[in-house]
Structure 1
Amino acid sequence: MTGQLRADAKRNRDQILAAARELLVNQGVGVPMEEIARHAGVGVGTLYRRFPDRVALLRALSVHTVEHMTDLARTALHTEPDAWNALSRFVRECVALRLGALRSIVDPQLHTALQHSEEVHSARMDLLGIVEQMIATAQRDGSMRTDVGVVDVAMLVSLHLKRPFDLPGTQPEEMDARLTQLMLDGLRPGSATPLPGKPANLSDVQWRTGR
């Protein structure tokens, strides 16, 4: 019976997070908590027992999203024939699923609260560590330009996910695919203009966590 209760609780949590992500990305961060509960198919009381306020919900959603991205990165790294193909697949999957788009609609105050979350920080570092491994391997085998680091790639993906608007007469998914290919081509060696400065990697940056 205890196992069933735990399974039910996990299912409710996953349903809430899936509903929250869909509504928040599509309608904005101000969507009522009651609407999130209704969309998830749970009672409002259940939602508030799991997430007592909006910041708690967004913190959990941020961790959940980053963990999903980490799973995608690990799968790509273990199943693709080389590091470049793994990185390309990971980037395309993140863009196609709009993973990371939540950040673009979070207001500065909430964004600061999330930045100071140790749980969010830890999840992000796990993800970036895998991406950095892909980059280093691809650079060693000559399939990726050597003057970029994991921070460059993370910023490019983050900017790409913040689609500012959809143009009439265009297909958003097709435009995403085109821009993603342009971005990936810019990471290849041989046809690139040298970049100013030095690439920043995880060891070079200080991530704010409130510590």
Structure 2
Amino acid sequence: MRADARRNRELIVTTAADLFVERGPEVSMEEIARAAGVGVGTLYRHFPDRRALVEAISVDALQRLLDYGRAVSEQDVSGWEALRLIVRRCTELPLALATSVTGGSALPGRAELPGLVQAVNAELEWAAARAQREGTLRRDIPAREVIALISVAVCRPGARIDDPLVRVVFDGLRATGA
């Protein structure tokens, strides 16, 4: 792919993700093209339909989250802090977009999506298990279930690190006396 075409594609994905998060899934493809500063034809050359664009946004968001999670795992922070940092990043990304735009149906076609989800969950499980070993995260809930619970809180439209649901989930996961 030519450099200008790659830049346009990345700009469309970034712009669309921001618009979907800001205004919801009803944003039109024409509005996305206009906000990205490209023609509608350019948008449709890269993404023949909304589903293809949503898949690209999902892959991009998961890859950014995975990269961030790996960077956090290399830092000298506690397991609880690592988990908190990764969850904060989750709330900054359009992780709920695929569900909100497609009405909950599975996204076919992008083979990398399941692998990315698995890799992101592995990073989160690493942080949760570390926090459990340190005694800052409840030990009576397996790390995999901790991640499932956190996903419910952060992979929804409008999730923020300081919203009541995320706060209640984190408060409930914190080990007594930690």
**TM-score normalised according to structure 1 size:** 0.71
Matching residue within 141, 144, 152 for 2:146: 152
Match of 2:130 among 127, 132, 137: 137
Q: Over aligned residue pairs, what C-alpha RMSD do you find?
A: 2.8
Q: How do 1:171-182 and structure 2 match up within 5 A? A: 175-176=162-163, 179-182=165-168
Counterpart of 1:119 in structure 2 is 112
Larger Rg: 1
Cα separation, partners in 2 of 1:180 and 1:40, compared to 1, 3 Å: same
Which residue, 16, 21, 26 being the options, matches 1:25? 21
DSSP-derived class of the 2:112 partner? helix
Which sections of structure 1, spanning at least 5 residues, go unmatched?
Answer: 165-171, 192-211
**AA partner of residue 126 (structure 1):** A
8 Å contact kept, 2:99–2:105: no
- For 2:16, the aligned partner's letter is A
Q: Which amino acid aligns with 1:71?
A: D
| Contact 1:92–1:180 (8 Å) recurs in 2 | no
Separation (CA, whole Å) in 1 of partners of 2:109 and 2:46: 20
Structure 2 residues without counterparts, runs of 5 or longer? none
Query: In the aligned structure 1, how far is the partner of 2:70 from the partner of 2:161?
Result: 26
Structure 1 residue aligned with 2:96, among 85, 90, 101? Answer: 101
> What per-residue deviation string (whole Å, max 9, x for no partner) do you get for residues 54-86 of structure 1?
111111111111111112211222124222211
The count of residues paired between Structure 1 and Structure 2 equals 177
Contact 2:61 2:93 in 1 (8 A): no
Query: Taking structure 2 as the reference length, what is the TM-score of the superposition?
Result: 0.82
Task: Quote how far apart the aligned CAs of 1:15 are.
Answer: 0.9
Q: Identity over aligned residues, as a percent?
A: 37
Check whether the contact 2:90–2:154 (CA below 8 A) recurs between aligned residues: no
Aligned twin of 1:67: 63
